[in-house]
Amino acid sequence: MADLTNNSAVRNSSATFTFDTCSASQTINASATQDQRWVAIVRNENAAVADQTATVTFAPSDVYMAGVVGTLSVDVGSGNDMKIVGPFESMRFKNSAGKITVAVSCTLGGTATSVKIGTVLLP
């Protein structure tokens, strides 16, 4: 399972931003991130005419008590629809390895590789 790129925001400035191509499952390395200091931007590039909605799920923590709140599921419409998700609570999502597992599935023949996610670490 590959880690997504962590993009860093810079206060009162600009920074380069990279989207990663998704697979069915990937992780966000949140081991050095403080609580509520990052967000994810999700873009679904599947065809709009086919209504290939992407469902992106952020798995709950396997070590912290807030994990009992459960999985966060976000539906992102097709045709380059975008959503910003977060800021995230590490106590709800960070696993024992300090990572957050992200799964992607699509409807009506859409593909996970047509979904892009970029994470932003906030200053």
Domain range summary for the chain, segments of one domain joined by +: 6-11+19-121
Separation of alpha carbons 56 and 122, rounded Å: 21
Separation of alpha carbons 119 and 123, rounded Å: 13
Task: Grade residue 48 by pLDDT with cuts at 50, 70 and 90.
Answer: confident
> Is the confidence at residue 31, as pLDDT, over 90?
no
The structure tokens 């995230």 sit at 88
Separation of alpha carbons 44 and 119, rounded Å: 15
Question: φ and ψ at 94, to 5 degrees?
Answer: -70, 130
As beta bridge partners, residue 118 has: 41
> Is the confidence at residue 60, as pLDDT, over 90?
yes
Task: Grade residue 10 by pLDDT with cuts at 50, 70 and 90.
Answer: very high
CA distances 94 to 22, 31, 66, 120, Å, are 19, 8, 10, 16
Q: Report the greatest alpha carbon distance in the chain.
A: 42
Residues 10-13: contacts with CB under 8 Å, at least 24 apart: 10/123, 11/123
pLDDT at 65: 92
Class of CATH domain 6-11+19-121: mainly beta
**Model pLDDT for residues 61-110, shown as the tens digit of each residue:** 999 999 999 999 999 999 999 999 999 888 999 999 999 999 999 999 89
